[in-house]
Structure formats: C-alpha cells, structure tokens
C-alpha cells in the first residue's frame, strides 16, 4: 500500500469553480477537501464538492469504446475492406453494443463522417457540447466542427442557460462575463440576488452573501417566484409572479429615474442613449410600481420595489442573477434591464459594484470563450459563417437536413426542452457519436461511444463564473483518452492536420486564439497560481475587475436599451381576475444541492443520491385539498411527466409549482415546448402552464 498523496485541482461541478485537494492512495480518491487558504472555496466545499467523487471509480463508467450492433449491420456492406473485415470480429459488450478497439472506432467514426459530408454536404453535420470538459477540449471541438468537417453548426449548453446573459451584457457593454471577483461581496454595501437559488445552485458564493448579510456589511434583497433559503437573511424578500422579471426591473428603473437617484457624472462620461431610455421608462404604462396593485396576491410589491430600487441606487451595489432571469421569453431583455440599472447608478467598474451572472457548468464560460457557439469564433470574433442554434438544429434534423451529430458531454436527450420532439429528431440521424463518462440518455442513443477521462483524471484549464482560469491536474490516472485526443485522432483520419502531442500543445494554440483574454495564461503561470486561479484578461497579470475606465465596446461607452414588458400568462390572468381551473398551475424548475444537472455523476454517489433519489414537486399548502394527492402527473400541450411525489409547503404561492429535473425518469423536460428567448433561443424553462393529474 502506497503513501497517501494530497493533490490540488479544481471541482468538476458548478460554475463557482472551487479549488480542491484530494487525498489519493493507490490510484483511488479517499477524500476531497478545501485548503483553508483556497481563494474560491475559502476552505469550504458544498456536499457535491466533498462527496461527489464516487463517479470516478464507478463500475458503470464507460472505460472502452462501443459501437451499436445495428450501426454495424446497417453499414457493413458500405464499409471499406479493412473496416469490414475487422467489423466481423468484434467482441460483444451487451445485447446492444460491441466493445471495439480504439483505433478501429476512430477509423469508423472518420469514415462515416466523411461519407455523410460527401453525400449530403458539410451542413449535414453538427456538434454539441464543451461546457463540461476543459478549454483544450472545447477549443478542439469547435475546431473539429469548423475546420475538419467545415460545418458552422457548433453549440453548447449555454443555449439552455446563460446565453441571454452573454447576449444582453455584450449588447450593452461589449462583454458578457461577470465583472468582479466573488470576494467583492465583502466590499459592497448592497446585494441583489434575483432568479438564483444560490444556496442550492452556487453554495460557496451563497456562503459569502450570507456572511455579508449576517455581519451587516451589506444589505441583501432576494427576488424570486418563491421563498428560498437565502431570503431568510434578506432585508427585502420579494416573491414575484411568474415571468415578471422585466416588469420588476423596469419598475426599479422607474423609481430611480423618477426620484432622480441616477449618477449623472457616470452616465455623461461612460454611457449613451440615456435620455431616450429615460423617457421610454417614465412613459411606460407597466413601469410604475403602482401597477403591482392590479396583480392579485402580489400587491405588496408596489411597496417593496421602491425600497429595493432606492437601496441599489444609493449604495455601492452588486447584482447577482441565475437562470430564473435567463430562461424566459424576455431573458436577454431582462439582462439588458439589469445592465441599465448598473449604468444609471454607476454600480459597475469598481470594487464592490458590478454584474454577476451565476453561470452553471464548470466550464461553460470557457466553452463560450473558446468558440463553442454558432455565432462566435474563439475570443467572440465573428465567424466566416454563422451556424444554427440547437433548437434550429433540432428542426433541421426533423427536416432531414442534419444527418450526423457529435455530442461531447451534453445530454441533449434529457436537459433540453420539448423532449418528445428531440427524441423524434434524433431518430432521423444516420450517426450519433458521443464522448461520455456514463450511458446517459443521449449516449444510449449514440451509435459510436468513446469513454473518456473525467475532469479528475486529466490536465486542463477550466474557467469559472467570474472569469477565473484554473489549471486542473489528475487526481488519479486513467487509461481512457481525453476528449481532445479523440477529436485529434478522428481528424487525423479525415485530413491529418491536427498535430498535438499533449494538452499544453492544444492550450498554447487556444490561448492565442482567445488572445484578448487568455494570451498571458501559460501553463507555467497557471500552475504557479493553481489554488488562486487567474481572472481574464490575462497578460502579464490578471484582471479582477472589468470596465474600470471604459466598457469593452468600440467607443468604450455603454448603451441603454429599453424594452417594454409584454403582458402575458399568469400576470395577465391575475390582472384580468380570471379564475384558475382546479387542475391548472404554473410550473417552474430548478436544482437541489445534492445533484447536478442530469445527475450523471451525482447518482453514482450513494451519499448524495440517497438524499434525493427522485424529483419532488413543491406545491402550496393552500393547494393541498385542491390537488388532493401525494403523487401527481404533470401535463402540458407538449408532453407529460412521470409520476412525481408532491410536498406541500408554505414557501410556494398558490397556483404555482416547483420541481427539479435531475432524474431522467421524471420526464420533466417533456413538458416544455419551443417557446424561448426571442433573441437567443434559450428555452422558457422557468414558466409553463401545466395540468395536474392526481394519481
């Protein structure tokens, strides 16, 4: 038995990006903890960070390559002679798959992709993924799609989370990333958290917010559609109607503008289009907080909103938000409205004041930086050809125009909306290739599967939600390839132009491609700052705070954008005093702390999964008699859920429901349709009208 080693790296879960230390013995992780001087963790990890490493050693890990028997059967006669001969000698893995040698599998993938490109053209291929793997692999993925396959169609799971944050912020101030370090929470006087259940989704950030609130160094306002744990520490907790974000944000602007609480000097020197924006808000029939008196059950907001707006305008303030802002029809416009508030009050571009989108995946920031978006090359440059976004790609699959898809760490058959439509679309593909750790919903539909290294088994750069680059190092050794290696080896059998010996070779190219942000971030520099990380832009030093003197726009100025709230759904029903049918409710979704997204990794930990082994619906205790059951099925025009247990609580408003979506058997994402953000096509996951059927 060998000595126990302590190895530093970065957590594989959410966008907080905590520094971690693993105790490892005989190539097995025994424990994960945080160093007391950890810059992000501050010596604390959430339950996933501490306990969610069992997946690494799980007996159900994909540690080989697999090819579907049906794929071999359907393609056997068309295979080149050498592949055909080898296909006849493959070893059976189970009733569905052969276990296949790596070299054969990369050759088979290259052959099929070339065949599809030659037969249907380069636009018949698309790639999805990148936010769960390293920057090296996300950079390689978009290069594989754009260069090797000559297709513009590459996207990642930002499509279903923070694409509206990127769109809204970049439109207004030229940059779509968080402006400040988390520790500025201790330097601010006021914090707003809107549309983020931070204690569950980003708990180590929540620790800071709670400490600041408890120590009374900052006042705290929490805005959500239900009461959440963070609200217990808030001076102001506002429970708002569904799809009311833009309505509330414009009301805050109305208060600041009508009471002349705005920062004239900042506006005059740093911004433009203020006067037209001001006139629009002050003449907007929905912007006066008095309008809230028309919304039954939410009348108190007419008094609360002015208090929150005044605190924000008169104090050094930070604004945090999550998917409760972005996953709406007007998500991008709501983000622009948040930016408007920051600019009119000067709450941006300084210590303790800024904009903080709480991004979800461990490397979704890095995936976007490195170009895994159809409308951005690496470094957010305009590509020579703009591709389609994921919902558009689904439509093209149904139309028979997309024939092949490469998926890298993104379970499109679980986490995306309108799953009945998605599943039907996937049936039209001639080949699905998947790099994965486990046989999740999309991997079970894949024809060619590559088992790959996890974040705890490889070297790579990950960028957290505050632009902080961390260089991971392996906690344990594994004999599977990294994602970028699979892509290199397939490309080498297509064109032969990807020449990389190790991850540092890939990074050196990637950091130059993302030159205005990463150029100074060498492996050497990142390894010296492994626990601290470094915030981009990185040249000789890093940049903790953005927009200090000017915005990252062509003229250095921020632009005010006005968009009026559109009356609809629950609010329209309440304003018009329409009655709800007995089985009619509005549903929203979110996470629980013990699981992450599709739970592919967390279900492997008994310590985690035993605490939440099925998705649960939360309903108002006032609706208990109305629902009349402990188990229900949810139905919408698009599909229905599995049977779900109900828990009746005081934190949910009548006529509304909340549930998580972690377990595939719950089929929660079958309830959502194609309704999405009108600018960037992020699904409306935070509000859908459902019928409740008691079981």
Write the DSSP string, 86-135.
HHTTPEE-SSSEEEE-HHHHHHHHHHHHHHHHHHH-GGGEEEEE-TTS-H
Please give the distance of CA 647 from its chain centroid, rounded to a whole number. Answer: 27
State whether 195 and 339 are in the same domain.
yes
What is d(CA 467, CA 475) in angstroms, rounded to the nearest whole number?
23
Strands 125-129, 404-408: parallel, antiparallel or unpaired by DSSP?
parallel
State whether 447 and 595 are in the same domain.
no
The CATH number of the domain holding residue 265 is 3.40.228.10
Name the one residue in this structure whose structure tokens are 């991850």: 503
Strands 639-640, 631-636: parallel, antiparallel or unpaired by DSSP?
antiparallel
The CATH number of the domain holding residue 624 is 2.40.40.20
Q: Which of 346-350, 360-364, 602-606 has the highest mean pLDDT?
A: 346-350
State whether 220 and 303 are in the same domain.
yes
- Which pLDDT belongs to residue 249? 98
- Domain membership flag for residue 327: yes
- Report pLDDT digits (tens) over 64-112: 999 999 999 999 999 999 999 999 999 999 999 999 999 999 999 999 9
The CATH number of the domain holding residue 36 is 2.20.25.90
State whether 512 and 437 are in the same domain.
yes
- Report pLDDT digits (tens) over 427-443: 999 999 999 999 999 99
What is d(CA 288, CA 11) in angstroms, rounded to the nearest whole number?
44
State whether 80 and 50 are in the same domain.
no
- 3-class DSSP assignment, residue 231: helix
- Domain membership flag for residue 540: no
Choose among 688, 689, 685, 690: nearest CA to 164.
685
Residue 596 has pLDDT above 90, yes or no: no
At 201, is the pLDDT very low, low, confident or very high (cuts 50, 70, 90)?
Answer: very high
At 130, is the pLDDT very low, low, confident or very high (cuts 50, 70, 90)?
Answer: confident
What is d(CA 537, CA 467) in angstroms, rounded to the nearest whole number?
8
Residue 226 has pLDDT above 90, yes or no: yes
State whether 259 and 110 are in the same domain.
no
User: What Å distances lie between residue 24 and 48, 287, 663, CA to CA?
Assistant: 18, 57, 30
- Domain membership flag for residue 554: no
- Report pLDDT digits (tens) over 469-492: 999 999 999 999 999 999 999 999
What is d(CA 170, CA 489) in angstroms, rounded to the nearest whole number?
36
Last residue of a domain, one of 357, 372, 402: 357
Please give the distance of CA 295 from its chain centroid, rounded to a whole number. Answer: 32
Task: Please answer whether residues 573 and 652 qualify as being in contact, where contact means their C-beta atoms are separated by less than 8 angstroms.
Answer: no
State whether 184 and 260 are in the same domain.
yes
- Which pLDDT belongs to residue 605? 87
Q: How many domains in the chain?
A: 4
- Report pLDDT digits (tens) over 265-280: 999 999 999 999 999 9
Q: What is the mean pLDDT of residues 236-241?
A: 98
State whether 38 and 110 are in the same domain.
no
What is d(CA 646, CA 665) in angstroms, rounded to the nearest whole number?
16
Residue 684 has pLDDT above 90, yes or no: yes
530 or 298: which leads in pLDDT: 298
Residue 361 has pLDDT above 90, yes or no: no
Task: Please answer whether residues 469 and 461 qualify as being in contact, where contact means their C-beta atoms are separated by less than 8 angstroms.
Answer: yes
Q: Provide the β-strand partners of residue 192.
A: 221, 319
Task: Please answer whether residues 374 and 389 qualify as being in contact, where contact means their C-beta atoms are separated by less than 8 angstroms.
Answer: yes
What is d(CA 485, CA 506) in angstroms, rounded to the nearest whole number?
10
- Domain membership flag for residue 544: no
User: What Å distances lie between residue 239 and 554, 572, 573, CA to CA?
Assistant: 39, 17, 17
State whether 193 and 247 are in the same domain.
yes
- Domain membership flag for residue 205: yes
**pTM, 2 dp:** 0.97
At 670, is the pLDDT very low, low, confident or very high (cuts 50, 70, 90)?
Answer: very high
- Domain membership flag for residue 627: yes
**Would you tell me the crossing angle of helices 390-398 and 419-426 to the nearest 10 degrees?**
50
The CATH number of the domain holding residue 460 is 3.40.50.740
State whether 179 and 215 are in the same domain.
yes
Last residue of a domain, one of 357, 382, 404: 357
What domain range includes position 139?
Answer: 65-160+363-535
24 half-sphere exposure, CB direction, 13 A CA radius: 21
Residue 653 has pLDDT above 90, yes or no: yes
- Which pLDDT belongs to residue 153? 98
Q: Provide the β-strand partners of residue 435.
A: 408, 450
Strand blocks (E) in 288-370: 317-321, 354-357
Residue 167 has pLDDT above 90, yes or no: yes
Q: What percent of the chain has pLDDT over 90?
A: 97
Choose among 58, 8, 49, 48: nearest CA to 28.
58
Q: Which pair of structure tokens corresponds to residue 623?
A: 């609706």
- Domain membership flag for residue 550: no
- Domain membership flag for residue 543: no
State whether 130 and 169 are in the same domain.
no
Residue 597 has pLDDT above 90, yes or no: no
Is the bond preceding 537 in cis, omega lying within 30 degrees of 0?
yes
State whether 275 and 309 are in the same domain.
yes
Strands 65-68, 448-451: parallel, antiparallel or unpaired by DSSP?
antiparallel
Last residue of a domain, one of 357, 377, 399: 357
- Which pLDDT belongs to residue 322? 97
């Amino acid at each position: 038995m060998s000595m126990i080693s302590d190895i530093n790296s970065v957590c594989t879960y959410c966008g907080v990006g905590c520094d971690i230390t693993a105790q490892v013995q005989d190539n097995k992780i025994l424990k994960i903890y945080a160093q007391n001087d950890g810059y992000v963790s501050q010596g604390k990890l959430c339950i996933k960070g501490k306990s969610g490493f069992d997946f690494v050693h799980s007996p159900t890990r994909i540690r080989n390559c697999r090819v579907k028997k049906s794929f071999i059967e359907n393609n056997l006669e068309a295979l080149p002679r050498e592949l055909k001969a080898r296909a006849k000698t493959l070893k059976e893995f189970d009733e569905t798959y052969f276990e296949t040698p790596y070299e054969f599998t990369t050759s088979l993938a290259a052959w099929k992709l070339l065949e599809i490109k030659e037969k249907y053209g380069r636009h018949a291929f698309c790639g999805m993924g990148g936010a769960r793997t390293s920057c090296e692999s996300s950079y390689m993925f978009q290069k594989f799609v754009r260069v090797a396959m000559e297709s513009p169609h590459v996207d990642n799971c930002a499509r279903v989370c923070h694409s509206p944050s990127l769109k809204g912020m970049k439109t207004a101030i030229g940059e779509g990333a968080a402006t400040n370090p988390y520790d500025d929470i201790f330097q601010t006087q006021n914090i707003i958290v809107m549309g983020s259940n931070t204690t569950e989704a980003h708990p180590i950030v929540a620790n800071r917010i709670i400490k600041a609130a408890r120590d009374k160094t900052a006042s705290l306002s929490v805005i959500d559609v239900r009461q959440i744990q963070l609200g217990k520490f808030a001076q102001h907790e506002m429970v708002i109607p569904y799809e009311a974000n833009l309505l509330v944000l414009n009301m805050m602007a109305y208060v600041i503008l009508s009471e002349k609480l705005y920062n004239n000097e900042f506006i005059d020197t740093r911004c433009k289009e203020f006067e037209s924006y001001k006139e629009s808000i002050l003449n907007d029939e929905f912007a006066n907080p008095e309008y809230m008196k028309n919304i039954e059950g939410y009348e108190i907001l007419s008094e609360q909103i002015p208090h929150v707006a005044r605190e924000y305008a008169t104090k050094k303030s930070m604004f945090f938000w999550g998917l409760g802002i972005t996953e709406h029809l007007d998500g991008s416009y709501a983000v622009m409205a948040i930016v408007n508030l920051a600019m009119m009050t000067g709450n941006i571009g300084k210590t303790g004041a800024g904009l903080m989108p709480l991004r979800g995946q461990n490397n979704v920031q890095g995936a976007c930086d490195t170009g895994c978006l159809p409308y951005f090359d690496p470094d957010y440059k305009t590509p020579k050809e703009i591709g389609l976004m994921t919902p558009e790609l689904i439509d093209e699959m149904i139309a028979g125009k997309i024939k092949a898809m490469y998926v890298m760490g993104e379970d499109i058959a679980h986490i995306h909306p309108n799953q009945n439509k998605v599943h039907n679309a996937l049936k039209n593909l001639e080949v699905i290739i998947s790099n994965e750790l486990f046989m999740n919903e999309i991997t079970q539909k894949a024809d060619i599967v590559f088992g790959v290294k996890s974040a705890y088994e490889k070297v790579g750069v990950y960028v957290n939600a505050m632009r902080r680059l961390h260089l991971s190092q392996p906690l344990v050794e594994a004999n599977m390839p990294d994602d970028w290696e699979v892509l290199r080896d397939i490309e080498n059998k297509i064109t032969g132009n990807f020449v990389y010996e190790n991850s540092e070779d890939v990074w050196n190219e990637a950091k130059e491609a993302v030159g205005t942000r990463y150029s100074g971030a060498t492996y050497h520099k990142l390894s010296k700052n492994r626990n601290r990380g470094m915030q981009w832009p990185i040249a000789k030093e890093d940049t903790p705070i953005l927009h200090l003197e000017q915005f990252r726009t062509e003229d250095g100025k921020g632009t005010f954008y006005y968009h009026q709230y559109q009356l609809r759904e629950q609010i329209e029903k309440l304003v018009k005093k329409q009655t709800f049918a007995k089985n009619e409710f509005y549903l929203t979704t979110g996470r629980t702390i013990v699981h992450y997204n599709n739970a592919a990794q967390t279900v492997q930990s008994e310590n985690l999964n035993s605490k939440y082994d099925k998705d649960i619906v939360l309903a108002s205790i006032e609706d208990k008699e109305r629902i009349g059951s402990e188990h229900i099925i949810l139905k919408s025009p698009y599909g229905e859920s599995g049977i779900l247990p109900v828990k009746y609580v005081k934190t949910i408003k009548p006529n509304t429901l909340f549930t998580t979506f972690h377990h595939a058997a719950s089929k929660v994402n079958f309830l959502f349709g194609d309704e999405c953000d009108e600018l960037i096509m992020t699904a409306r996951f935070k509000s859908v009208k459902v019928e409740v059927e008691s079981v």
